[in-house]
Amino acid sequence: MNDQTLTPEERAANLKGMGSSRKRVEDVRFTQGKGNYVDDIKLDGMLFGDFVRSPYAHARVVSINAEEALKVPGVLAVITAKDLEPLGLHWMPTLAGDKQMVLADGKVLFQGQEVAFVVAEDRYAAADGVELVEVEYEELPVIVDPFEALQSDVVLREDLDPAADGAHGPRKHHNHIFTWEQGDKDATEAVLAEADVVVEEMVYYHRTHPCPLETCGSVASMDKVTGKLTLWGTFQAPHAVRTVASLISGIAEHNIRVISPDIGGGFGNKVGVYPGYICSIVASIVTGKPVKWVEDRMDNLMSTAFARDYWMQGKIAATKEGKITGLWCHTTADHGGFDACADPTKFPAGFMNICTGSYDIPVAYLAVDGVYTNKAPGGVAYRCSFRVTEAAYFIERMIEVLAIKLNMDAAELRRINFIKADQFPYQSALGWEYDSGDYHTAWDKALKAVDYEGLRKEQAQQLEDFKAGKTRKLMGIGLTHFTEIVGAGPVKNCDILGLGMFDSCEIRIHPTGSAIARLGTISQGQGHATTFAQIIASEIGLPADDITLEEGDTDTAPYGLGTYGSRSTPVAGAATAMAARKIRAKAQMIAAYLLEVHDDDVEFDVDRFVVKGAPERFKTMKEIAFAAYNQAIPGLEPGLEAVSYYDPPNMTYPFGAYICVVDIDVDTGETDIRSFYALDDCGTRINPMIIEGQVHGGLTEALAIAMGQEIAYDEMGNHKTATLMDFFIPTSWETPTYVTDHTTTPSPHHPIGAKGVGESPNVGGVPCFSNAVHDAFRPFGLTQSHMPHDHWRVWKTARELGLHA
Amino acid sequence: MAKMHVKMTVNGKEVEALAEPRTLLIHFLREDLNITGPHIGCESSHCGACTVDIDGKSVKSCTMFVGQANGTDITTVEGLTNPDGSLGVIQEMFREHHGLQCGYCTPGMITRAHRLLQENPSPTEEEVRFGMAGNLCRCTGYQNIVKAIMASADMLNAQKEAAE
C-alpha cells in the first residue's frame, strides 16, 4: 500500500492540509463561466417578478390601479399589500425584532420602497407592467436627519404604539427605536471630570452599502403536487431563511428546501430577508409556477441593506503622559424606516462595545440610540462583524485626536496604551474577554517594516518644502492598530431570531478513502470548498483533493447560522475539526483492531495510525476507511462518519497593524495612496494564498469607503447615489498595490487556533486611510473631517484651513 | 411585439434566432442561448461583468441590442476554454494566481484580458491596470488579477515564440 519511503513531511505535503497555499477547487468552474448563480437558474414555465417602487421618501399611498398594467401581454398578476394581508404576509419580522412592510401598507417610508409586485412571463413584460401601474401618493414631511427625527412631531411609524416598549426596551420618542447602554456611566464620568486631559469629538461614519457585484435575487418554486416549496436565493444564512420562511408562511419546515447556489459576493448584503424573497414565494403559490426575482443595481443600492450611518460622540480621558484613563461614547444610529439591522438579538448595536479597541482602558461607557428616519432599512455588517468597523473607526480616530491634544506621536501613544501580551485573556471595560494577542510585537514589526522614523523625517521635509512654496503636495501617514471580535458566537449570548449561533459540519468517509463534508455555512467567494477540505485533510489524513465540500442546501447540509461576521472559520471551521476528530477517534479503534493491539497502543501519524514504537506496523487512513465498510468489528458500528454542532466558548479576536502613506494635492484635493502595509494576525493560518486575497479585497473595500463611497440623500429623501456612476467602486486604476505581512497568535479556545480574517482588512483599513488624510493636515490644525475623503471634500478641507490663499 | 431574425457566430457556432428587437444582447446570450458565463452586474455599462468579445473588440453586452450584434462574431468566456476541455492560458493563470474569489466578475475579466493581450501582447503593470479599468471586482482588490494577466502575457508570448 502506501510506501514507507516518504518522510512524514512529504506525506503531510501530499495531503495539502492546513498551511498549504492550495489552489482553489472552485476556480475550474468559475474561470470557464460555469458557476451557477441565482440568475442562471432556469426552470420550465418560470415567471419573472419586478417591483413598483415609491418615488417618495414619505407619503401616503392613496390608491393603486393595476388595470392598464394587466392589459400588457404577458403580465399575469399585480400583487399589493391588500392581496398579502389575508395571508398575514403584508408585513414581515426583521432580524432586529421590528417588522417591515413587504409591500406598502397605506404609506411608504423611504424612496424605492416596494409598493406592488408585477408578475409576468418574462422580465421585459414585467418591466412594462411596472411602468403602467398607477399609484396615487399624498406626500408627507420627510426626515433624513436622525437628530431632527428625535425632535420632530412627524410620526414616521404610525403602526407602533408610542407608549409601548420596543424590542429592546423603552422608547423615548415616537421616532426612537432603542437605547442600549454598556459599561459604567458614573465611574466613566467621574474619571472624565478629574482627568489631566479630555478630548471630545464627533466622529461620523457615513452611510454606505456592501454592493456585491451580484445583486440579491431568488427563485421560488411551489410544487402543488408534493406541497414542497423550493427556494433558491442569494442567502448568506440559508437555514435561517428556511426557518423564518416557515414561521411566517405557515408552510411546515420540512416542506421547504432553501438552496443558496453560488453567490457573487455578499459582504453582509445577503444576510437580511427582503420583500422580493417573500413576493417570489407568494407569486409562485398563487400562479403555481416558478417565479424569479432579481434586483437591478438601482434596486440594490436603494432598498436592500445599507451599512454604518453612526454619529459617534466621543470623549477620551488621559494623563499628561498619555495613559488613557477612560472612554465615553454616545452614538446616534440612523436605522432608516424600519429597524432591519442584522445583529444578534441581545446586541441592538452589534458589537459596538468593542470600541475600547486594542487599548487597556480601565473604565468606559457606551450608549447607543437607534432612530427612525425616511431612509432605506438595513444596518447590515458590511464586511464586518456587527458594527465592529464603526467601533474601530471611532477609537482609532479618538486616539489620533488625543495625540494631537497631547502633542504626541500617535504611534507612541498607541504603544503605551496597548493591552500587554501577559494580560490575555483580557477583560475589557465594556464586557468582552479578549482571547489572545500580542499587540506590541505586531506594532513594532509594522513600524520597522515601513521605516516609520524615516517616513516621519520625509514628511517633515515635505512640510517644510510646502511652506517654502516648493511643492503643493502634503504627505500623510495613516496608522491603525485594530482589534476585531468575530465568530459569533456562544449560544448563551448570541442568537438571531432565537436561533443560537452555533455552526455545524458533517463528514462522511467513503469506502475508498475519499470523503464528502457538508457545512451550515455558505461561501460567497471565501473559498470554503478549498479551505475546509484542508482542515479535514490535516485532521484525518486524507488528501484535500479527495474531499468534496458542499454547502447551502438545507435538505442535505446540517443546520447552521451561515456566513457573515467572519464566523465561518471560527465556528464552522471548529465544527469541521471536531467532526474530523470524532472520525479519527473511531479510526483509531479500527486501526487497533486491524493491527491486533489495544486502542491505546496506536498513535496518529499524518495519514495513518502506527503502533507505538513500531512505525513499520501501520494502517493508512485509506485502509481504515475500507475496513470500516467491510469488517465486522466487535463493538463498533459499520461506517465512518460524524457530525459536529459547535457552540464556541468565546468569540475570537483577530488583530492587525496597518500603515499607509498618502500624497495629497491641496489644490485639486486628489489623493494618491503611495504605499499600504498590512500586518494581520488571524491566529492559525489555513491557506496563506486565500488569506492574502481576502486582505487585498478587504483593503480595497476600505479604500472605497474611506475615499469616496457613500449612500447620500437630499433633504427630500431622494437617493443621490443609486448607480455605479455615483456610488464609488475603485477600479484597478486607482487601487494601490498592497504589502501584506503577519504574526501568528493562535486562539487558545479554538480547536485549531484559527480566528478568521475576511473582515479584518475592512475594519482596519478604513481608519488607516482616513487617518492618513487627517495626518497630512494635522500641522494646519485639522482634528476631524468626516469621510468619505473624496477629492471635493479634501479640497474643501484644504480651503477651510487656509491652504489655498 | 414583432420579432426580428438575427444571425451571428457565437463561440465558433452559427446561431440563428427570432428575438424582440429590444432584447439586450446579454439577455439573448444568457436566456435564449443558455450562455450564462457573462453576468449582469449593473445594466449600465459600469461594471463589465457582461463583457464579451465582438468582432475583435471588448463590448459590454448589457447595453447593446441583439439586433446590433446581427452578423457579428462573438466570443464569450466559454469560448476561451481549450478545445480539449482544459483551461485556456488566461483561465489557468487566474486560478494559479488567485485572481478570483466569488467568480462573478471573472468571465468579464478574463474575456477583457483576452482582448487586452491581443491589443498589447506585452503590457506593463500600469497598462494592465488602465486596460482593465472598465471591469469592476469587489473581492480581489485587483492585485492578483493584474498578476494573473502579466503571467498570462509571459506564457502566451513564450508559446508564440515556441511556435515560430
Choose from B84, B143, B144, B146 for mutation: most chain A CBs within 10 A.
B143
Q: Where are the alpha helices (DSSP H) in A16-108?
A: 27-30, 67-70, 81-84
Residue-wise pLDDT for A36-64, tens only, equals 999 999 999 999 999 999 999 999 999 99
Residue-wise pLDDT for B3-61, tens only, equals 999 999 999 999 999 999 999 999 999 999 999 999 999 999 999 999 999 999 999 99
User: Which of A26, A690, A735 is closest, CB to CB, to B141?
Assistant: A735
* DSSP state at residue A396: H
Length of chain A: 805
Residue tagged active-site, from A201, A539, A710, A759: A759
Across chain A, mean pLDDT equals 97
Residues B33 and B75 in one domain: yes
Q: How many domains does chain B contain in total?
A: 2
- Note whether residue B95 is domain-resident: yes
Work out the burial of residue A641: count CB atoms within 10 Å of its CB; fewer than 13 is exposed, 13-18 middle, 19 or more buried. Answer: middle
Active site residue A505: no
Residues B22 and B75 in one domain: yes
Cβ atoms of A610 and A588 within 8 Å: the answer is no
**Does B78 sit within 8 Å of A33, measured CB to CB?**
yes
User: Considering B79, B113, B129, which residue would you say is the last residue of a domain?
Assistant: B79
Choose from B20, B42, B144, B152 for mutation: most chain A CBs within 10 A.
B42
Q: How is residue A383 written as a grid cell?
A: 464586511
Confidence check: pLDDT of A654 > 90: yes
Of all residues in chain A, the percent with pLDDT exceeding 90 is: 97
Q: How is residue A90 written as a grid cell?
A: 403584508
Question: What average pLDDT does range A296-322 have in this prediction?
Answer: 97
Of all residues in chain A, the percent with pLDDT exceeding 70 is: 100
Angle between helices A688-707 and A760-777 in degrees, nearest 10: 40
Chain A touched by B77 (CB under 8 Å): yes
- Note whether residue B65 is domain-resident: yes
CATH code: domain of residue B52 = 3.10.20.30
> Helix-strand-coil percent breakdown of chain B, rounded to 5?
40, 15, 40
A618 vs A775: CA distance, rounded Å: 63
CATH code: domain of residue B100 = 1.10.150.120
B31 vs A121: CA distance, rounded Å: 13
Question: What average pLDDT does range A729-742 have in this prediction?
Answer: 98
A704 vs A396: CA distance, rounded Å: 18
Helix (H) or strand (E) segment spanning residue A129: helix A123-132
Residues B54 and B116 in one domain: no
- Note whether residue B125 is domain-resident: yes
- Note whether residue B84 is domain-resident: no
| CA distance readout (Å), A34 to B38, B49, B76, B81 | 10, 14, 12, 11
**Does B22 sit within 8 Å of A123, measured CB to CB?**
no
DSSP A575-595: HHHHHHHHHHHHHHHHHHHHH
A718 vs A714: CA distance, rounded Å: 5
Residues B108 and B142 in one domain: yes
Confidence check: pLDDT of A132 > 70: yes
Residue-wise pLDDT for A629-639, tens only, equals 999 999 999 99
Residue-wise pLDDT for A183-238, tens only, equals 999 999 999 999 999 999 999 999 999 999 999 999 999 999 999 999 999 999 99
Question: What average pLDDT does range A595-614 have in this prediction?
Answer: 97
Predicted local distance difference test score (pLDDT) of residue A565:
87
Beta-sheet pairing, A641-646 with A503-509: antiparallel
User: Considering B79, B108, B130, which residue would you say is the last residue of a domain?
Assistant: B79
Residue-wise pLDDT for A376-417, tens only, equals 999 999 999 999 999 999 999 999 999 999 999 999 999 999
Residue tagged active-site, from A236, A524, A526, A709: A236
Residues B101 and B125 in one domain: yes
Q: E strands, A654-797, where?
A: 655-665, 671-681, 738-742
Residues B71 and B108 in one domain: no
A755 vs A485: CA distance, rounded Å: 9
Residue-wise pLDDT for A471-508, tens only, equals 999 999 999 999 999 999 899 999 988 899 999 999 99
| CA distance readout (Å), A7 to A104, A643, B137 | 68, 32, 42
Choose from A32, A47, A72, A121 for mutation: most chain B CBs within 10 A.
A32
Tell me chain A's radius of gyration from C-alpha atoms.
28
Predicted local distance difference test score (pLDDT) of residue A3:
57
Residues B65 and B93 in one domain: no
Cβ atoms of A368 and A390 within 8 Å: the answer is no
Angle between helices B143-163 and A688-707 in degrees, nearest 10: 120
A464 vs A469: CA distance, rounded Å: 9
Residues B153 and B134 in one domain: yes
Task: Return all residues near A794 (Cβ < 8 A) that are at least 6 apart.
Answer: A664, A669, A670, A671, A773
Closest-CA residue of chain A to B91: A31
User: What SS3 class is residue A296?
Assistant: coil
Predicted local distance difference test score (pLDDT) of residue A489:
83
A349 vs A345: CA distance, rounded Å: 10
- Domains of chain A, each with CATH number or no CATH: 8-35+503-646 (3.30.365.10), 38-140+215-263+270-303 (3.90.1170.50), 307-488+651-800 (3.30.365.10)
Work out the burial of residue A671: count CB atoms within 10 Å of its CB; fewer than 13 is exposed, 13-18 middle, 19 or more buried. Answer: buried
**Does A696 sit within 8 Å of B87, measured CB to CB?**
no
Question: What average pLDDT does range A511-522 have in this prediction?
Answer: 97
- Note whether residue B116 is domain-resident: yes
Residues B22 and B74 in one domain: yes
Confidence check: pLDDT of A449 > 50: yes
Predicted local distance difference test score (pLDDT) of residue A61:
98
Q: How confident is the model at residue A4 (pLDDT cuts 50, 70, 90)?
A: low
Q: How is residue A293 written as a grid cell?
A: 426575482
Residues B20 and B75 in one domain: yes
DSSP A350-389: TTGGGTTTTB--SEEEEEEEEEE-SS------TTSSSSHH
- Taking the CA of residue B123 and the nearest CA in chain A, the distance in Å comes to 14
**Does B44 sit within 8 Å of A32, measured CB to CB?**
no
Q: E strands, B24-127, where?
A: 51-54, 57-60, 73-75
Active site residue A506: no
Predicted local distance difference test score (pLDDT) of residue A643:
98
Chain A touched by B123 (CB under 8 Å): no
A:B CB pairs within 8 Å: 175
Range of the domain at B106: 89-163
Q: Where are the alpha helices (DSSP H) in A708-803?
A: 760-777, 791-800
Residue-wise pLDDT for A530-544, tens only, equals 999 999 999 999 999
- Note whether residue B27 is domain-resident: yes
Question: What average pLDDT does range A259-280 have in this prediction?
Answer: 96
Q: E strands, A260-415, where?
A: 291-294, 307-318, 324-336, 363-372
CB < 8 Å to A526, chain B? 101
Residues B68 and B100 in one domain: no
Helix (H) or strand (E) segment spanning residue A507: strand A503-509
Cβ atoms of A632 and A743 within 8 Å: the answer is no
Q: E strands, A392-472, where?
A: 426-427, 433-434
User: What SS3 class is residue A335?
Assistant: strand
Residues B99 and B151 in one domain: yes
Task: Return all residues near A133 (Cβ < 8 A) that are at least 6 apart.
Answer: A52, A64, A65, A66, A68, A69, A78, A115, A116, A118
The amino acid sitting at A49 is G
Q: How confident is the model at residue A342 (pLDDT cuts 50, 70, 90)?
A: confident
- Note whether residue B8 is domain-resident: yes
Helix, strand counts (H, E) of chain A: 20, 32
Closest-CA residue of chain B to A729: B136
- Note whether residue B34 is domain-resident: yes
